[in-house]
Amino acid sequence: MSNVTIRTVQSGKDETRFIKFQWKMNEGYPNWVPPLLMDRKKLIDRKGNPFYKHSRMEMFLAERDGQLVGRIAAIVNDNHIKEHNEKVGFFGFFECVDDQDVANALFDAAKAWLKPHGMEAMRGPVSPSVNDEYGLLVDGFDKTPYVLMSYNPPYYATLIEKYGLTKVKDLYAYEVDAKKVFTEKLKRVSEIVKKREGLVLRSLNMKDFANEVRKIHDLYTRAWSRNWGEVPLTDDEFDYMAKDLKPIVDPELVVIAEAKGKPVGFGLSLPNLNQVLIKNRKGRLIPGLLRMVLFKKKIDGVRIIILGVVPEYLNTGIGGVLFYETGLRAVRRGYPHGEASWVLEDNVRMNRGAELLQGDRTKTYRLYQMPI
């Protein structure tokens, strides 16, 4: 009989234990990049984070003999239910010692909380939404994750699968390299598409940041609205994200595609700050910021986070042009390496685009689901 006890997070002290348990479970893995503690607090801030205006979350701690041995959160996202017309709740922020009894108790608690909220299935890990940390790393543990991508101990997949959760979708990460990307064929096709569509590619205008954010939000909503699991960001959520990204964004790596003067797509890439933050083992803000300033020149990679085209221009080849232009700009800015992540396993266009750039699929992130 397991002597695991589960209780909800009730205080600021509990929240701190909840956050810092991630360090306990991952600090022994050299490729894990510690997040900033400040960012972890913002992610679970149910009063300040606008995600929780339309969502509810309960956080749980697992204890044995007074010691913390696991954590999990259960999430009901009303906007997901509205967008996809499915009563799916989520589990996220899963961290656990290598003990099936502890994992089972955590998943039981999440399911028990979701059921009276009317949920018919549980999916995850989603921490706390599709626009934040998404999926469990199931291969590629020998590589350091790129900026804003997650990492977890390899045994988590076993704990999840032995509980009875099964794969619902895989997400891929592709590594690209300047030495392989820039073929004459790709350059020629890119020029043809630009001429045919009257395409202009421009950078983010930081002097008109607020208006640029509105345009990009509109493009984002239109381009990703049909993707599996995608939930449009509210205005408040998008502004919240833009405020966070503004200090670290390189405007040359935000590429807006305009066809005959009309915005039709965009790509967002960020310098791979994880190359610096991996040394900030305690996740503290000031050392982390100092490292980003002092060692910025050591960063030689970017992560292509978002790249898409509005539905009426999907078959024009503009997506490929955005990929190619992003690569050109990244190399010009001193980043010869990159990762396109994440890409749904059944997103044929994006997978073909990554393969066209001769990208190597190096990591897989997995989402699991089970009925409640």
Q: CATH topology of 5-170 equal to that of 176-365?
A: yes
Helix (H) or strand (E) holding 301: strand 301-309
Is 350 strand, coil or helix?
helix
Alpha helices in the chain (DSSP H): 12-26, 37-43, 78-84, 100-114, 156-163, 178-181, 184-197, 209-224, 235-245, 274-277, 285-294, 318-332, 348-356
> Which structure tokens are listed for 52?
């929780």
Which pLDDT value is given to residue 279? 85
pTM across the whole model: 0.94
Q: Which one, of 246, 282, 278, 285, lies nearest residue 38 by Cα? A: 285
Q: How far does CA 59 lie from the centroid of its chain? A: 20
Does the domain at 176-365 match CATH 3.40.50.300? Answer given as: no
Q: Please state which CATH number belongs to domain 5-170.
A: 3.40.630.30
Which pLDDT value is given to residue 292? 60
Strands 121-124 and 88-96: parallel
Domain boundaries, the chain: 5-170, 176-365
Give dist(CA 322, CA 265) in Å, integer: 8
Q: Which one, of 252, 254, 220, lies nearest residue 234 by Cα? A: 220
Give dist(CA 232, CA 236) in Å, integer: 11
**Residue ranges in the chain modelled with pLDDT below 70:** 1, 285-295
Q: How far does CA 99 lie from the centroid of its chain? A: 27
Which pLDDT value is given to residue 1? 44
Which pLDDT value is given to residue 286? 57
Tell me which residue has tokens 């939930």: 231
Query: Is the Cβ–Cβ distance between 204 and 329 less than 8 Å?
Result: no
Which pLDDT value is given to residue 354? 85
Which pLDDT value is given to residue 290? 59
Give dist(CA 332, CA 273) in Å, integer: 18
Q: Which one, of 10, 330, 67, lies nearest residue 177 by Cα? A: 330
Using alpha carbons only, give the angle 187, 225, 232 rounded to the nearest 5 degrees.
Answer: 115
Which pLDDT value is given to residue 2? 72
